[in-house]
Amino acid sequence: MSDMLSQSLPKHVAIIMDGNGRWARQQGKPRWRGHQAGADAAGKIIQAAIDQHVDVLSLFAFSSENWCRPEEEVNYLMKLLLHMLKTQVKELHKKNVALYVAGDLSQFSAQICAHIKKAEALTCANTGLKLIVAVNYGGQWDIVQAAQRIAEQVATGVLTLDQVDEKLFSQYLVLSNISHPDLLIRTSGEQRISNFFLWQLAYAELYFTPILWPDFDEKAFQKALDEYAKRHRRFGGRM
């Protein structure tokens, strides 16, 4: 790939997959059908990211605030997560994808945790797309858990206060060894971050589309990449 091309391609694309419920409502279907269609869309976009040679794809699948939805919906989403882990991991492994699940796993069932561990162990040496699935993830949680672990190390004398800078802090966040997102896509027309990667999105290019997540396809993904290629990133510097 030429330098020109590689520079205009985001290394890390993060997506807030929003609009499943509205998609279902539009189709006169129950909400769970929207989530099911959303899971299919995720599969398509994972393949599109592989085809486009994106290095890292992060998908926001369940936020730390999504527990406040009706029990029936949360239960369905948990069932869907387990189903995806049981049925899709082999396929991802065949595609050389390295899967990493980001979020507070302490609230998940032992069964889900075991499948996550197994999937990560199976795929961790893969050299293709790095796929991060954010579940029970909150940007504020991420920052607090990092602060707690750093505070503990300062209290026990492992770290000194003046060692705590942006670089060190970054290493305690869930994406410690992964470059931060270059492009954030949010579907469904909402223009907010909804507690996704707060720290990591500091200099991401933001792309909002009215397309509802289940309708977001390879063409829509390509359009977002094309838009990214036209942006001028400055990181606080000058043109």
**Which residues sit at the interface with Mg ion, rule CB under 5 A?**
18
- 170 near ligand IPE (CB under 6 A): no
Name the residue among 187, 186, 239, 231 with its Cα closest to residue 7: 231
Contact 8, 228 (CB under 8 A): yes
The rounded distance, in Å, linking the Cα atoms of 157 and 160 is 7
The span of 15-23, 87-95, 122-130, 139-147 binding ligand IPE (CB under 6 A) equals 15-23
- 150 near ligand IPE (CB under 6 A): no
Query: Which of residues 9, 13, 14, 17 is near ligand IPE by CB under 6 A?
Result: 17
Residue 17 binding partner per list Mg ion, ligand IPE, none, with a CB distance cut-off of 5 to 8 Å that depends on partner kind: ligand IPE
Q: How far is CA 29 from CA 22, 34, 81, 223, in A?
A: 10, 8, 20, 28
- 19 near ligand IPE (CB under 6 A): yes
x/- mask, ligand IPE, residues 77-116, rule CB under 6 A, reads: x---------------------------------------
User: Which 3-state string (H, E, C) describes 44-97?
Assistant: HHHHHHHHCCCCEEEEEEEECCHHHCCHHHHHHHHHHHHHHHHHHHHHHHHCCC
* Catalytic annotation, pick one of 20, 40, 51, 66: 66
Does residue 51 carry a catalytic annotation?
no
Does residue 195 carry a catalytic annotation?
no
Q: How far is CA 91 from CA 28, 35, 46, 186, 230, in A?
A: 32, 20, 11, 26, 34
Which residue lies nearer to Mg ion by CB, 13 or 61? 61
Question: From the CB of 210, what's the least distance to Mg ion, in Å?
Answer: 13
Furthest-apart CA pair in the chain: how many Å? 59
Which residue lies nearer to ligand IPE by CB, 63 or 123? 63
Contact 131, 46 (CB under 8 A): yes
Query: Which of residues 9, 13, 18, 54 is near ligand IPE by CB under 6 A?
Result: 18
Q: In the complex, which residues of this chain contact ligand IPE (CB under 6 A)?
A: 16-22, 38, 60-63, 66, 77, 188, 190, 192, 194
Instruction: Please identify every residue annotated as catalytic.
Output: 18, 66
